[in-house]
Amino acid sequence: MHRLRHLRHVCLAVVFVVMAAAPALAQSQQLKATVDRDQLGAGDAAQLYLTFEGTQDIPAPSLSLPQGLTSRYVGPTSRMSVVNGQTTSSVTHRYLLIPQQAGSFRVGPFHFTIHGTTYTAPAITLEVVAAGTPVSAAAATEGGPPAGRLEDRIFVTLETKKNTLYLNEKALLTVKLYVNQVAIRDANFPVFENAGFTMERIGTPRQYQINKNDLLYNILEFNLLFFPTRTGDLTLGPARVQCTQLISRKNNNFPDEFFSSFFGAQETHGLELASNALPITVLPFPEEGRPVDFKGAVGQFTLNAQIAPGRVALGDPVTLTMKVTGDGNLKTVSTPVLAGMQGFKTYDAQRTETEREVAFEQVLVPRDADLTQIPAVGFTYFDPSTRRYKTARAGPFPLEVLASGSPGATKVVESKEAAAQPRAPEELGSDIIYIKEDPGRWQSPQARLYRHPVVAVFLAVPLLILLGLWSWSEHQYRLSTDTAYARRLRASPKAQKGYRQAAADMAAGRHQEFYAGVSRTLREFLADKCRASAPAITAASLDSLPGCDRLDENGIKTIKDLLTKSDDIRYASLAASPDEMKEDLALLRQALDRIEKIHA
Amino acid sequence: MHKKRLFLFVGMSVFTALILGPAPEGHPQDAAFAKANNHYKNGEFKEAIAAYESILGEDRASAALYFNLGNAYFRRHQLGRALLSYERARRLRPRDPEIQTNLRLARSNLPYVRPAGMKLFKRISRMPFQWINLDEGTLGVLCVYLALMALLCVMALRKTARRRLKVPAQALAVIFVLGLSLMYVKIMDLGREALVVRPRAEARFAPFEKATVHFELTEGMAVTVVDEKQGWLKVERPDGKTGWLPDDAVALM
């Protein structure tokens, strides 16, 4: 039982493998090469189909084609079908065959080895006839001359009238694209790869027709100026022109030419056409008679110059405008030479170049009031037609320089017309401003004013002054409004003053004045301290005086004794000895000290 | 009245003399400066840079030196460093039109994009220093302060004038406080403002090479240095975003 089951599994596996391999075994791998037509005109294209049967995993093979025939890969087409359980697959690679000339072309035989499998197909023959010739007549012309070659119907020429030039000399170069019965578009401007020349386009390309060798050509003409930049025997060209060729793909479903063209499509094909090369001999400038100020300008030029204004104040600018015009290489025109400008301060001239002239604006500042003219300017160039160096001159220019501040000094004003006319925006260059010659004030990179001690002084001193003034002002105000405060504050100095006066009177032996002073000093000091009236204070009223309770008994007694003695001597006209006065002065001192402590 | 004017004149003269010191004559750096200029004129920009930098190494600087150094860097296409030098020159001579022109040109040649979100107060606080330098700001605040003090002194002396002078004094006090605040912000920024001098710098979340990139900075962008750690600087963009950069990617202004 077990063996039967095993046998059944083996059979099923064999059947499955056979069925899976069947489609592959059924396919026969082969290559078919066909073209959509085997006769065509120059400028047309035929399609080549390479069909690989039995597989789809075939990359596009590269073709080896005969001379005069080019190809372009269009793309693949895959196909798979199952009929009665049989699967077939194929891939077709499509190419466009483009003949470059009329004639018979044999394409193939085809022989490719891909993924270890070899595919072969027999060769195909293409008959290409000249454009305009009926394809059916191709057989009749077979074996004739290669009429209608593409390079005869579309080509580029390079022409110049001068093959011998001087360095930097200007010459005209013409590139012509000849086209006869070939549809092209998008012709690019010619490209040159030559070293030793600079090119400059002039104008726009010109189109016209000419008859050449009994063929009517459409001409596309490009004009350029070229300038040799080094001497020697050079080669100019070839010029390369890229364009797109339009190739009509005819629809074979319509036998008639009209309908075939009408329903057909156009395909594009890139073309790069190269012209002939031109030998050019470039001569160096002759050394003989070469001026010192010659800077390489070549051509025939004239120089015109003028100044504005002709009357200026000393130090005001004068603009010298110089225009170099003529036929030649304007790129080589440099600033005309200004000689004898010692009395002027000069600036770099501003150069402006247009198609036919180069203008220079030179600003001159007269530094001497005695100047009467601006000297003549000169421009040296080499004239290739005469093979000689020439110098164009302009000037001198009369100039009136007025001393600064003189009444006749010119005042520059803008005219109303100039202000009203809109000016085209001037295109200015931009670059950094030149370095400074003056180093300026050196300082430490870390130095800061706010760290300077003087700043702290200038901050502190006014603040202290303000605080002092404010305190003093407040003090004065209180003195004027607070009488008690004022009396209390003035009491001590006044008492001291009275004491000094009493001492002076004692020294002078003026005992009356001495005791009057002692009495006054004591009463006023007490009155100021105790906010009382000085005349009302007597020895008898002393006990009732407010504040006197802070005095000790000895103090009160001393004051009373001094007041009594003073009154006695003053009013009773008693005498006092110097010793007595000295003793009383000491008592006054003690009394004042005791009174001082009342509000201490 | 004449005595007061004379006093004011003498006071200002003394102050100026004390601040500015003696007039510079035949400074030792003049020869080195002229030599560096000669290198520049001969198109030897690398040598010119070295010569200018050597003067800076002697702790001497001037607006012209920074200006010329900026020109030399510009010619060497080191636009970040050129911008840095022009900024330093502008801080010394903010109203110099030549410095402003070259600064603008250097900025226009850099792919500099100012990040949005700069705080309004910071923007306002920086505005005056587009026109004046720090020393001029100090002098201005000091003058306002002296004027305020003078006014207060008059008010202290003359009580009758207090009411009349109250409003001018208040105005001066406001100006003084405002100026002092701006000066404070500016001084706090000193030593922290920096410019990116590499064509492109990646600010990372941490101060090491493998840390995640937070944002990119382009040459000439202004940042504020907020921290420093072992060859790395923590910088803050004007919009407040922070990241760590190698210390040679930025230069302090």
Nearest to A443 among B61, B68, B146 (CB): B61
The pLDDT value recorded for residue B118 is: 63
Residue B151, exposed/middle/buried by CB under 10 A (0-12, 13-18, 19+)? buried
Q: Give residue B40's pLDDT.
A: 93
Instruction: Give me the residues paired with residue A318 across strands.
Output: A364
- Could you tell me which chain A residue has the CA closest to the CA of B191? A446
Residue whose C-alpha is closest to residue A534's, from A480, A491, A496: A491
Contact: B159, A473; criterion CB under 8 Å: yes
Span A328-335, mean pLDDT? 81
Calculate the alpha carbon distances from A43 to A97, A395, A521 in Å: 11, 67, 144
| Greater model confidence, A353 or B39 | B39
Nearest to B59 among A430, A438, A444 (CB): A444
Confidence (pLDDT) at A530: 81
Instruction: Name which of A492, A488, A582, A558 is nearest A529 in CA terms.
Output: A488
Mean pLDDT of B97-121: 77
Find the closest chain A residue to B60 by CA distance.
Answer: A444
What separation in angstroms does the CA of B39 have from each of A72, A538, B30, B68, B83?
62, 101, 14, 11, 21
For A420-467, the pLDDT digits (tens) are 556 667 777 778 889 998 998 888 888 888 888 999 999 999 999 999
Contact B135 A449 (CB under 8 A): yes
Q: What is the pLDDT of residue A465?
A: 93
pLDDT of amino acid B203: 92
In chain B, residues with a C-beta closer than 8 Å to the C-beta of A439 are 27, 29-30, 33, 62, 64-65
Going by the DSSP 8-state scheme, the letter that residue A411 receives in this structure is -
In order, the DSSP letters of A260-312 are HHHH-EEEEEEEEEE---EEEEEEPPPSTT--TT--S-BEEEEEEEEEE-SEE
Three-state DSSP state, A527: helix
What are the backbone dihedrals phi and psi of residue A57, each rounded to the nearest 5 degrees, phi first?
-95, 60
Per-residue pLDDT band for A200 (boundaries 50, 70, 90) equals confident
Nearest CA in chain B to A435: B68
pLDDT at A262 over 60: no
Does the beta-carbon distance from B157 to A473 stay under 8 Å?
Answer: yes
pLDDT in the model for residue A233: 86
How confident is the model over A229-257, as pLDDT tens digits? 888 888 887 888 888 887 766 555 554 44
Res. B8 pLDDT band, cuts 50 70 90: low
Digit-coded pLDDT (tens) for B180-238: 999 998 888 888 889 999 888 999 999 998 889 898 888 888 889 999 998 999 999 88
CB B249 within 8 A of CB B197: yes
Residue A462 has a pLDDT of 92
Average pLDDT of the residues of chain A? 78
Interface of B with A in 194-233 (CB under 8 A): none
pLDDT of residue A543: 79
In this prediction, residue B113 carries a pLDDT of: 53
Tell me the C-alpha distance between B252 and A12, whole Å: 85
A547-559 mean pLDDT: 81
Q: Is it the case that residue A335 has pLDDT exceeding 90?
A: no
Report which of residues A5 and A372 the model is more confident about: A372
Q: Is A442 left (phi over 0), alpha (psi -120 to 50) or beta?
A: beta
* Residues A585, A502 contacting (CB under 8 angstroms): yes
- Which pLDDT tens digit goes with each residue over A474-506? 888 888 888 888 888 888 899 999 999 999 999
> How does DSSP assign A138-154, residue by residue?
HHHHTTS--TT-HHHHE
Backbone angles phi, psi at B182, to 5 degrees: -60, -40
DSSP A495-522: HHHHHHHHHHHHHHT-HHHHHHHHHHHH
Joined together, the tokens standing for residue A99 give 């003949």
Half-sphere exposure (Cβ direction) of B249: Cα atoms closer than 13 Å:
24
Full 3-state SS string of A54-79: CCCCCCCCCCCCCCCEEEEEEEEEEE
Sort out which chain A residues have CB atoms less than 8 A from B68's CB and list them: 435-436
Q: How many other CB atoms sit within 10 Å of the CB of residue A492?
A: 15
Q: Nearest CA to CA, how far is B65 from chain A (Å)?
A: 6
Q: What's the rounded Cα separation, in Å, for the pair A573 and A398?
A: 116
pLDDT given at position A61: 85
Q: pLDDT tens digit string along B67-83?
A: 999 999 999 988 889 99
pLDDT tier at B53, thresholds 50, 70, 90: very high
pLDDT at A245: 80
What pLDDT is recorded for position B36?
94
Q: Which of B62, B77, B154, B252 to mutate to test the interface with A (most CBs of A within 10 A)?
A: B62
* Percentage above 90 pLDDT, chain A: 7
DSSP H or E segment with residue A96: strand A86-99
Q: Test A448 with B98 for CB contact under 8 angstroms.
A: no
In angstroms, rounded to a whole number, what is the distance separating the alpha carbons of residues B126 and B103? 17
The span from the CA of A495 to the CA of A521, in Å, is 6
Closest listed residue to residue A328, CA positions, set A406, A415, A410, A392:
A392
Residue A280 φ then ψ, to 5°:
-125, 130
Written as six digits, the tokens of A184 are 């092209």
Q: How far is A438 from chain B (nearest CA, A)?
A: 7
- Are the C-beta atoms of residues B112 and B220 closer than 8 Å to each other? yes
Instruction: Flag whether pLDDT at A305 surpasses 50.
Output: yes
Phi, psi of A293, deg, nearest 5? -90, 15
pLDDT of residue A8: 59
The residue of chain B with its CA nearest to that of A444 is B60
> Is A458 in contact with B183 (Cβ distance < 8 A)?
no
Give residue A135's pLDDT.
44
A373 against A268, higher pLDDT: A373
- Across the interface, whether the CB atoms of A444 and B159 are under 8 A apart is answered no
Q: What is the mean pLDDT of residues A257-276?
A: 65
Q: How much is the average pLDDT of A165-185?
A: 85
Torsion of the alpha carbons at A163, A167, A170 and A172, rounded to the nearest 10: 20
Find residues 440-479 of chain A whose CB sits inside 8 Å of chain B: 440-446, 448-450, 452, 454-455, 458-459, 462-463, 465-466, 469-470, 473, 477
| Residue among B24, B101, B138 minimizing CB distance to A449 | B138
| Alpha-carbon gap, residue A392 to A402, rounded angstroms | 31
pLDDT digits (tens, 9 = 90+) for A23-82: 444 444 588 888 877 777 766 778 888 888 877 788 888 888 888 888 878 788 887 777
Region A151-171: mean pLDDT is 85
Q: Is B149 on the interface with A (CB under 8 A)?
A: yes
- CA B249, CA A168: separation in Å to the nearest integer? 49
Question: Which pLDDT score is estimated for B5?
Answer: 64
Over range A110-124, report the average pLDDT: 83
pLDDT at res. B232: 94
Sign of CA dihedral A443, A446, A450, A453: negative
Nearest-angstrom CA–CA distance, A103 and A57 = 36
Question: Cis omega (within 30 of 0) on the bond before A238?
Answer: yes
Q: For the purposes of burial, counting CB atoms within 10 Å of the CB of A283, is it exposed (0-12), middle (13-18) or buried (19 or more)?
A: middle
Tell me, what's the ipTM?
0.79
Distance CA A299, CA A291 (A): 16
Identity of the residue numbered B231: G
Three-state DSSP class for B183? helix
The pLDDT of residue B6: 66
Distance between CA A523 and CA A517 in Å, rounded? 10
Local confidence band at B89 (pLDDT 50, 70, 90 cut-offs): very high
Where residue A548 falls among pLDDT bands split at 50, 70, 90? confident
| Banded pLDDT at B109 (limits 50, 70, 90) | confident
3 state DSSP class of B133? coil
Which of B46, B83, B85, B81 has the alpha carbon at shortest distance from B68? Answer: B85
Of B29, B40, B63, the CB nearest to A435: B40
